[in-house]
């Protein structure tokens, strides 16, 4: 697609792959909202207690997100908290997206997140205040969280690379191992870390108690004393760096090549095992880093006895990544969007007979539709192709002599030219990438798990 | 020990049946990562049915009949719910991981939404009801035979009707997929759908069949879990059982015998974690040499107290065991070749 673009110089706006991805995502979002609205309407119609008008009010509240808070000050406060809670979600979204790009399904983000939280809390609370500057403790804690995340992500990567064990199963197992290890570590050191100042002893001390907290640079004041701190900026920078790494560096190219076709990548001389391991390790690091940023805010409670449950923010990274078609920059927006809908939903119980789970339902439907985005994009393309082939059938043939007249780009990509090993040639590799970008979660285990 | 084995059997049954569900879908070529969601949905529908039907005294009198009806409803609704996955994966050729993830998100959302709106609660509990004789009955065991010999007790005391039904279904379906024509066709669609199509097998229909059976089994397993392990509480989660079943399926190498072994082993270790104090620590400490060891060696005692008397240690064992076994058996592991790949007639 890119080759084509450079040849023809100017691609019509709606034919740009990026634009089509965004259009497809928007269609998914609209579809999700529509289904959500229909569910509310059905509920209202079939229930005697709920007037039909409440369905309209309900969907409007969900749509208005933090604006539903009412007066400007509350809206600002809610906005700030929405952005702050989006921070770890962006990180787990990036974690999942990066793994997807390498053809791996990182369902282990919850475990990596827990380990990251443990690492940062242990360091931030165990170095006594005053022995070194708080900023240094912050940096050490941040690194510790990230490092534990890296370690936890590397386990599935190692098992996949070394033993060819399906990464999904190892991720599931490591999630529960992490949940128990974290609980155990804090259980064994209760008197040091558990917050006994509050009546319940479910939570770890806030890091602010040791003077460690993320700098806010006035962001919290800007948003009416919300929790927002500079971590949202850090996260955006990380997303951009990840985008550059994936799309502009050799290493990123290798990772993506592994995602498109592992065997072809190996054939082209890439060390696919190393790439798998590194990809999972970085993905783990991203999730751990998200947890560290959340914990080091200073004001947050971390529930330590977590052996029976896994943090939702880890699993929600999956929809965040899928909605963004695994584009790191897109993850920022999709994660904030998810939090936006959630925030709107949280006002439902107070104002209507509905409840906050509507927003989860909408998100689920959006993701369901996101699976169709390849279908939608192909459809969009086909429609344009039809229009164009009628008008410029001759011109098109001159520009693309290889492509038989009437065949659409998607059909072409579905059956790649037999002479090129797919990812090695930038042309054909790129083409598959763009047409399948939303759905480029390569099927796990298609190359046979095991010999 | 009898108690531990009884618990193991109860815990292993949902795993067993849901892992078989995963096997059916994957053998037909569809990755069913939505097992967890389907379990939640099936359990919820079954619980709603139980909730409604227990208002009539007839069903309170005939608890086991009610149990069977609820299991059936759970299975049917699981099958219907899984059609969402089949439709996206087979008709629209969408990515199966995305479709499955969507169902996993959808099921808790929809169950919690409806529970909250209808009952104004976060979970649905099947409480005791009063039967025609005026006795309060809960949702209970099919048989209580405390006077049997130990082996009999494991299987026939404090056991649920779902256990026997699940074992029966498991055996029938395991034989069916290997010994019948349709079973062979279904398996061929998971290995090489184009080859299957070339001899006149309708791949899409086979994949629909596999996924629908999978959905029905997962729904069944979901209700069995809620009614037995979770003591009749349906909420928006099955504690990751669906994912564990997926792990057991891979552990069992996509084969019924492996799955049966895996779920029993995992169930045993998991139940050990719940009952370790009664089933392990107490018998061990009743021995004289153990008491001597503890009295004489201070170092051993601290170690023993910190590790072997710790719940988290036992919680970790099942997961680590599976991980280690996987590392050693990975050489023999073989997934269905075409799983996860949308069927494309034109592909070679």
Q: Which tokens sit at A1?
A: 């697609």
Tokens of A380: 């969009």
Give, in order, the Cα–Cα distances in Å from B188 to each of B145, B199, B203: 45, 11, 9
Q: Which two tokens stand for residue B336?
A: 């269905």
Task: List, as ranges, residues 111-140 from B with C-beta within 8 Å of A.
Answer: 112-113, 116-117
Residue with tokens 């796990």: A444
Confidence of residue B145 (pLDDT cuts 50, 70, 90): low
The reported pTM is: 0.84
Interface membership of A128 toward B (CB under 8 Å)? no
By Cβ distance, the residue of A184, A319, A353 closest to B105 is: A319
Q: What is the pLDDT of residue B208?
A: 95
Nearest to A169 among B239, B247, B341 (CB): B247
Is 50 exceeded by the pLDDT of residue A52?
A: yes
pLDDT of residue A246: 92
Chain B residues closer than 8 Å to A181 by CB: 312, 316
Task: Give the contacts of A136 (CB within 8 A, at least 6 positions apart).
Answer: none
Sorted by sequence, the CB contacts under 8 Å of residue A184 that are 6+ apart come out as B310, B312, B313, B316
| Range scoring the smallest mean pLDDT among A166-170, A442-446, B33-37, B327-331 | A442-446
User: Average of pLDDT values for A228-239?
Assistant: 92
Per-residue pLDDT band at A309 (split at 50, 70, 90): confident
Q: Does B96 touch chain A (CB under 8 A)?
A: yes
Highest mean pLDDT, choosing among A1-10, A370-379, B158-167: B158-167
Rounded CA separation B172/B163 (Å)? 14
For chain B, positions 256-315, list CB contacts with chain A under 8 A. 306, 310, 312-313, 315
**DSSP characters for B32-58?**
-TTHHHHHHHHHHHHHHHHHHHTTSHH
Q: What is the mean pLDDT of residues A76-90?
A: 91
Query: Percentage of chain B with pLDDT > 90?
Result: 41
B242: nearest CA partner in chain A: A172
**How sure is the predictor about A167, in pLDDT bands with cuts at 50, 70 and 90?**
confident
Diameter over CA atoms, chain B: 75
Q: What residues contact residue A328 under an 8 Å CB cut-off, 6+ apart? A: A94, A97, A98, A239, A240, A242, A243, A246
Q: Does domain B2-332 have CATH number 1.10.3470?
A: yes
**Residue numbers in B near A319 (CB within 8 A):** 101, 105
**Is residue B168 scored above 90 in pLDDT?**
yes
Is the pLDDT assigned to residue B263 strictly greater than 60?
yes
| Structural domain spans, chain B | 2-332
| B313-331 average pLDDT score | 87
Which residues from chain A sit within 8 angstroms of residue B315, using beta carbons? 176, 180, 307
Greater model confidence, A299 or A121: A121
CA distance A354 to chain B (A): 6
Mean pLDDT within B151-172? 84
pLDDT at A65: 83
- B246-265 in b/e form (b: 16+ CB < 10 A) is bbbbbbbbbbbebbbebbbb
pLDDT at residue A260 in the model: 84
CB atoms within 10 A of CB B291: 12
Higher per-residue confidence, A282 vs B307: A282
Extract the tokens encoding A8: 């023809």
Confidence of residue B138 (pLDDT cuts 50, 70, 90): low
Which neighbouring-strand residues pair with B234?
A: B124
A contact residues 351-410, partner B, Cβ 8 Å cutoff: 353-355, 357-358, 360-361, 363-365, 367-368, 370-372, 374-375
pLDDT surpassing 50 at residue A416: no
Chain A residues touching residue B338 (CB < 8 angstroms):
446
Residue A314 main-chain phi, psi, to 5 deg: -70, -50
pLDDT band at B140 (very low <50, low <70, confident <90, very high): low
CB contacts < 8 A (A, B): 179
Q: What is the pLDDT of residue B310?
A: 82
Out of A31-35, A205-209, A419-423, which region has the weakest mean confidence (pLDDT)? A419-423
Pairing type for strands B136-137 and B129-130 reads antiparallel
Helical ranges in A296-372 per DSSP H: 312-323, 328-346, 348-351, 357-370
Whether A360 sits inside 8 A of B112 (CB atoms) is yes
Tell which wins on pLDDT, B15 or A191.
Answer: B15
pLDDT higher than threshold 60 for residue A394? no
Domains of chain A listed by start with CATH number: 74-331 (1.10.3470)
**Percentage of residues in chain A with pLDDT exceeding 90?**
33
Choose between A340 and B117: higher pLDDT: A340
- Is-contact A182 A114, C-beta < 8 A? yes
What is the overall mean pLDDT for chain B?
Answer: 86
* Residue B135 banded pLDDT, cuts 50, 70, 90: low
pLDDT at A329 over 70: yes
- Confidence check: pLDDT of A228 > 60: yes
Q: How far is CA B269 from the centre of its chain?
A: 15
pLDDT-based confidence at A278, cuts 50/70/90?
A: very high
In this structure, of A180-184, A336-340, A385-389, A413-417, the range with the lowest mean pLDDT score is A413-417
Per-residue pLDDT at B280? 78
Q: Provide the percentage of residues in chain A whose pLDDT is more than 70.
A: 83
pLDDT for res B144? 66
Residue A420 pLDDT = 40
pLDDT at B137: 65
CA distance A392 to A399: 10
Tell if the CB–CB gap between A177 and B319 is shorter than 8 Å: yes
Tell me how far apart the alpha carbons of residues B29 and B72 are, in angstroms, rounded to a whole number.
26
In chain A, residues 74-113 whose CB comes closer than 8 Å to chain B: 105, 107
Is a pLDDT exceeding 50 seen at residue A1?
Answer: no
Beta bridge partners of A204: A194, A302
pLDDT over threshold 60, residue A87: yes
Average pLDDT, integer, range A312-322: 90
Q: What are the backbone angles phi and psi of residue A303, rounded to the nearest 5°?
A: -80, 120
Return the minimum-mean-pLDDT range out of A368-377, A413-422, B238-247.
A413-422
- B244 to A172: CB separation less than 8 angstroms, yes or no: yes
What's the average model confidence in pLDDT over A288-293? 94
Evaluate the CA torsion angle A293, A294, A300, A301 in order and state its sign.
negative
């Amino acid at each position: 697609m890119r080759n084509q673009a450079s040849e023809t110089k100017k691609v019509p706006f709606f034919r740009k792959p990026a634009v089509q991805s965004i259009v497809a995502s928007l269609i998914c979002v609209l579809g999700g909202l529509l289904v959500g609205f229909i569910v509310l309407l059905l509920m209202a119609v079939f229930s005697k207690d709920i007037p039909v008008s409440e369905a309209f009010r309900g969907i409007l509240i969900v749509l208005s997100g933090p604006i539903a808070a009412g007066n400007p000050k509350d809206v600002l406060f809610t906005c700030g908290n929405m952005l702050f809670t989006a921070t770890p979600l962006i990180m787990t979204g990036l974690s999942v997206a990066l793994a997807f790009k390498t053809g791996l399904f990182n369902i282990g983000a919850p475990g990596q997140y827990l380990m990251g939280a443990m690492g940062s809390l242990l360091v931030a609370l165990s170095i006594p205040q005053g022995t070194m500057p708080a900023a240094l403790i912050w940096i050490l804690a941040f690194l510790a969280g990230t490092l534990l995340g890296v370690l936890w992500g590397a386990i599935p990567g190692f098992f996949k690379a070394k033993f060819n064990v399906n990464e999904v199963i190892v991720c599931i197992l490591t999630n529960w191992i992490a949940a128990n290890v974290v609980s155990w570590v804090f259980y064994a050191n209760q008197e040091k870390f558990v917050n006994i100042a509050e009546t319940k002893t479910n939570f770890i001390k806030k890091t602010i108690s040791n003077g460690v907290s993320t700098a806010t640079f006035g962001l919290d004041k800007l948003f009416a004393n919300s929790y927002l701190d500079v971590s949202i900026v850090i996260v955006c920078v990380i997303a951009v760096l990840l985008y550059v790494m994936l799309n502009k560096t050799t290493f990123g190219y290798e990772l993506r090549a592994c995602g498109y076709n592992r065997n072809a990548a190996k054939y082209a001389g890439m060390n696919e095992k190393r790439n798998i391991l590194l990809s999972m390790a970085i993905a783990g690091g991203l999730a751990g880093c998200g947890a560290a940023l959340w914990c080091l805010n200073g004001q947050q409670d971390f529930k330590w006895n977590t052996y029976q449950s896994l943090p939702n923010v880890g699993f929600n990274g999956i929809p965040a990544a899928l909605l963004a078609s695994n584009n790191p920059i897109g993850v920022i927006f999709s994660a904030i969007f998810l939090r936006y809908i959630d925030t709107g939903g949280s006002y439902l119980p107070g104002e209507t007979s509905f409840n906050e789970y509507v927003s989860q339902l909408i998100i689920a439907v959006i993701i369901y539709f996101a699976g169709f985005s390849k279908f939608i994009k192909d459809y969009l393309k086909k429609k344009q192709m039809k229009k164009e082939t009628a008008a410029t059938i001759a011109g098109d043939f001159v520009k693309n002599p290889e492509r038989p007249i009437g065949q659409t780009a998607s059909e072409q990509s579905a059956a790649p030219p037999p002479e090129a090993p797919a990812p090695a040639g930038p042309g054909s590799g790129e083409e598959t990438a763009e047409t399948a970008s939303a759905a480029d979660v390569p099927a796990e285990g298609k190359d046979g798990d095991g010999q | 020990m009898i108690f531990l084995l009884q618990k193991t059997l109860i815990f292993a049954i949902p795993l067993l049946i849901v892992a078989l569900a995963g096997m059916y879908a994957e053998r037909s070529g569809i990755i069913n990562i939505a097992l967890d969601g389907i379990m939640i949905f099936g359990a919820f529908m079954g619980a709603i049915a139980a909730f409604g039907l227990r208002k009539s005294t007839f069903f309170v009198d005939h608890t086991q009949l009610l149990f069977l009806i609820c299991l059936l409803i759970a299975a049917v609704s699981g099958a219907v719910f899984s059609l969402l996955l089949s439709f996206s994966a087979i008709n629209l050729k969408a990515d199966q991981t995305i479709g499955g993830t969507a169902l996993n998100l959808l099921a808790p959302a929809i169950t919690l939404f409806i529970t909250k709106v209808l009952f104004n609660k976060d979970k649905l509990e099947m409480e005791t009801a009063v039967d025609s004789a005026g006795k309060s009955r809960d949702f209970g065991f099919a048989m209580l035979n405390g006077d049997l010999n130990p082996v009999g007790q494991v299987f026939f005391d404090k056991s649920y009707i779902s256990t026997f039904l699940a074992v029966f279904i498991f055996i029938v379906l395991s034989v069916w997929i290997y010994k019948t024509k349709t079973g062979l066709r279904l398996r061929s669609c998971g290995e090489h759908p184009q080859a299957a199509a070339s001899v006149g097998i309708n791949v899409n229909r086979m994949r629909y069949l596999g996924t629908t059976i999978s959905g029905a089994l997962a729904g069944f397993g979901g209700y069995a879990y809620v009614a037995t392990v979770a003591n009749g509480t349906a909420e928006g989660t099955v504690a990751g059982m669906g994912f564990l079943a997926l792990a057991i399926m891979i552990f069992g190498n996509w084969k019924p015998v492996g799955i049966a072994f895996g779920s029993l082993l995992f169930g045993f270790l998991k139940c050990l974690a719940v009952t370790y104090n009664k089933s392990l620590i107490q018998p061990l400490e009743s021995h004289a040499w153990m008491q001597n060891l503890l009295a004489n060696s201070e170092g051993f005692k601290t170690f023993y107290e910190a590790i072997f008397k710790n719940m988290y240690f036992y919680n970790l064992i099942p997961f680590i065991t599976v991980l280690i076994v996987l590392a050693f058996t990975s050489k023999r592991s073989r997934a269905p070749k075409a799983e996860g790949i949308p069927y494309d007639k034109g592909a070679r």
